[in-house]
Amino acid sequence: MENGAALISRLRAICGAEHVLTHPDALAPYRSDGLAHYRQTPLAAVLPATGEQVREVVRACFMAGVPWVARGSGTGLSGGALPIAEGVLIVLARLRRILAVRLDDARVVVEPGVTNLAISRAVAPTHFYPPDPSSQVVCSIGGNIAENSGGAHCFKYGFTTNYVAGLEVVLSDGTVVELHRDAPGYDLLGTFVGSEGTLGVATKIELRVVPVPETVRTALAFFEDTGAAGEAVTAIVSAGIVPAAIEMMDRLSIRATEQATGAGYRLDAGAALIVELDGPEEECAARFEHVRALCRDAGGRDIRVASSESERALIWKARKAAFAAMGRVAPAYFVQDGVIPRTRLPEVLRRIDELAAEHGLQVANVFHAGDGNLHPLICYDAANPGEPERAEELANLILRACLDQGGSITGEHGVGVDKKSQMPAMFSEQDLDGFHRLRCAFDPHGLANPGKVMPTPRLCGEVPGPYREHPLERAGVAARL
C-alpha cells in the first residue's frame, strides 16, 4: 500500500497531521452512517477546515487514483456515507461557517458542515429554512444537498432542491465549478442536488429562505383506523387546502410513542392525524375550521387543537419521537422509506398488514400523509434465529408493494448502498443507462462515492489515452467486462 502511504502523507501536509485519522480506533466512529448495519473502515478519514483544503484533498485522491466518500454529520439512512476500504473519507464537520446572511435577497450562504437547524437560527426571527428532516438538530446541510432531504413540512414547502440557489462544487479531478440557479445553460445545480455524493462535493452553499408565517395552527385528530384517517387526508387535499404538515401514525406507533413521551395520545385509536396549517392569520382561521369539519366528517373523534406553543410542541413530540420510541415495542427495527400515490394508501396498508402476518412480524406505520411518503418500521428481535433476515425480506417486499402502486423506493432517505439492488425494480436498463451517462460526464474515473446508487458498478467508456488500470479495478470494486 505504498501508494496509500504517499497519499496519507500528502493529506497530512494539506490538513495537518491531527486532522488525518488512520488508526482503527480513531476511525471507529466513521465506519458507518445512520444505517449502522453497513460498516467499513476506510484507508483514512480526513477533516479539512476549508473549501480549499477539500479541493486539495480531492485533487490528491485523483492523482493517486484513490476513491473517496464525503460525509457530513453521518445521519443518513441509506448508507450513502459508508466508507470504501481502499478509499478516503472526507469529513466536512469542520466546515461550519455561516458565510453571509442577506435577508434583503432572502439568501444565506453557508459551508456544508453547518447543521440544518443552524440555518433557520441564522435567519430568525423573520425568516426560516423550510426543509426540516427529523434529524435537523445534527444533520448537515451538505448531507441534505446530497440526499435532497425532505421533512414533515415539504408537502407545502418543497424539498431541499427547491431552496438551493447556488453551489460551489469540487469535481472528482479537483476542478471547482460554480453552479447557480439563474446561470445560463443546463440546470447542473438541480441535477447535483440529490446525487448522493456521486457527482462531486459541495463546498459552499447558497440557500433561499422564506418569511416566517404569521400564524401556525395545529390539530390532532384520532380515528378508528388508518383508512378513515386517509379519507380525511384526501378530503382536505381535495378541498384545495395545502397543510404545512399532515402526518399519520397507526395504532402500534401511537402505543410506542405514548409510552415513551406521555404526550396524551389516545391508546384506543387506530390512527392519529396531525394537521398543521400556517400562513396569514385570516387565511389560516378560515381553512382551519374547514379542516376540522372534514376530519369530523371522516369519522375523526376527539379533535384537539393546540392552544399554545407548548401544546403544539407536545403534539409534535410524539411524532418526532416515533422512531426512537419503537425500542419499547421491539428490540430492533428497520425503518423503510417508500412512496405511494397518496390515494393508494388503503391498498398499500392492507398489503403491508398481509405481508407482516405472513412473516410473523409487527410493522408500525408513520407516514408523511400529504405526499404519500411511508415510513413502515419493521420490528424484529435479533435473538430469534432468522428473524433479522425475515425482517429484511419484509422490508423489501413493502417496497415492491409501493412500486406496484406506481410509487418509489425512496422518498427522502436515498438509495445509497441500501437500496441500489432495488433500482432495477424501479428503472429499466435504459433508464439506468441514462443515469450512467450523467455520472460519467461529472466523474469519468468513478472516484466520487463509487458503489452507491447504481445497482452494478460500471466504468465509463472512452477514457482517452493508453490503457490504465482503473482505480476501481485496482480496488477490486469493479471489473472491465
| Stretch 276-295 residues interacting with another protein (CB under 8 A) | 279-280, 282-283, 286-287, 290
| Binding flags for another protein, 384-423, as an x/- string (CB under 8 A) | ----------------------xxxxxxxxxx---x---x
Q: Are 416 and 80 in contact (CB under 8 A)?
A: yes
Cα–Cα distance, 60 to 6 (Å, whole number): 10
> Does 445 contact another protein by CB under 8 A?
no
Instruction: Give the shortest CB-120-to-another protein separation in angstroms.
Output: 15
Q: Which of 5, 13, 17, 126 binds another protein (CB under 8 A)?
A: 126
> Does 267 contact another protein by CB under 8 A?
no
Helix (H, G, I), strand (E, B) or coil at 173: coil
**Could you tell me the end-to-end alpha-carbon distance of the chain, in angstroms, rounded to an integer?**
26
Distance of CA 1 to the CA centre of its chain: 35
Helix (H, G, I), strand (E, B) or coil at 51: helix
Cα–Cα distance, 215 to 213 (Å, whole number): 5
Q: Which of 61, 241, 397, 447 binds another protein (CB under 8 A)?
A: 241
> Does 360 contact another protein by CB under 8 A?
no
DSSP letter (8 states) at residue 210: E
Residue whose CB is less far from another protein, 154 or 306: 154
Residue whose CB is less far from another protein, 281 or 389: 281
Cα–Cα distance, 312 to 322 (Å, whole number): 16
Residue whose CB is less far from another protein, 250 or 412: 412
Query: Which residues of 314-402 form beta strands (DSSP E)?
Result: 332-335, 338-339, 362-368, 373-380
349-354 long-range contacts, CB within 8 A, separation 24+: 349/226, 349/227, 349/230, 349/250, 351/401, 352/376, 352/398, 352/401
Query: Rule CB under 8 A: which of 314-343 touch another protein?
Result: 339-343
Residue whose CB is less far from another protein, 300 or 407: 407
Residue whose CB is less far from another protein, 42 or 446: 446
Point out which span in 46-54, 291-299, 386-394, 434-442 binds another protein (CB under 8 A): 434-442
Point out which span in 1-9, 69-77, 190-198, 315-323 binds another protein (CB under 8 A): 190-198
Q: Residues 132, 136, 139, 142: is their CA dihedral positive or negative?
A: positive
- For cell 408500525, name the residue: 364
Instruction: Give the shortest CB-389-to-another protein separation in angstroms.
Output: 24
> Does 242 contact another protein by CB under 8 A?
yes
Residue whose CB is less far from another protein, 42 or 151: 151
Assigned C-alpha cell, 99: 458565510
Q: Which of 211, 262, 327, 360 binds another protein (CB under 8 A)?
A: 211
> Does 456 contact another protein by CB under 8 A?
no
Q: Which of 274, 394, 453, 477 binds another protein (CB under 8 A)?
A: 453
> Does 433 contact another protein by CB under 8 A?
yes
> Does 184 contact another protein by CB under 8 A?
yes
> Does 162 contact another protein by CB under 8 A?
yes
Cα–Cα distance, 376 to 337 (Å, whole number): 7
| Binding flags for another protein, 7-46, as an x/- string (CB under 8 A) | ----------------------------------------
Cα–Cα distance, 121 to 416 (Å, whole number): 30
Q: Which of 268, 308, 383, 430 binds another protein (CB under 8 A)?
A: 430
Q: At what angle do helices 226-238 and 345-359 cross, to 10 degrees?
A: 160
Q: Which of 137, 186, 324, 468 binds another protein (CB under 8 A)?
A: 186
In the chain, what are the helix, strand and coil shares in percent, each to the nearest 5?
A: 40, 20, 40
Query: Which residues of 234-293 form beta strands (DSSP E)?
Result: 245-250, 271-279
Instruction: Give the shortest CB-179-to-another protein separation in angstroms.
Output: 6
Give, in order, the Cα–Cα distances in Å from 389 to each of 11, 78, 402: 40, 18, 20
Point out which span in 42-50, 113-121, 152-160, 469-477 binds another protein (CB under 8 A): 152-160
Cα–Cα distance, 319 to 289 (Å, whole number): 23
Query: Which residues of 1-97 form beta strands (DSSP E)?
Result: 20-21, 44-46, 68-71, 88-91
Residue whose CB is less far from another protein, 116 or 161: 161
Q: Give the pairing of strands 88-91 and 44-46.
A: parallel
> Does 75 contact another protein by CB under 8 A?
no
Q: Which of 17, 26, 28, 103 binds another protein (CB under 8 A)?
A: 103
Count the residues of the shown chain that bind another protein, applying the rule CB under 8 A: 91
DSSP letter (8 states) at residue 383: T
Residue whose CB is less far from another protein, 85 or 239: 239
Residue whose CB is less far from another protein, 102 or 301: 102
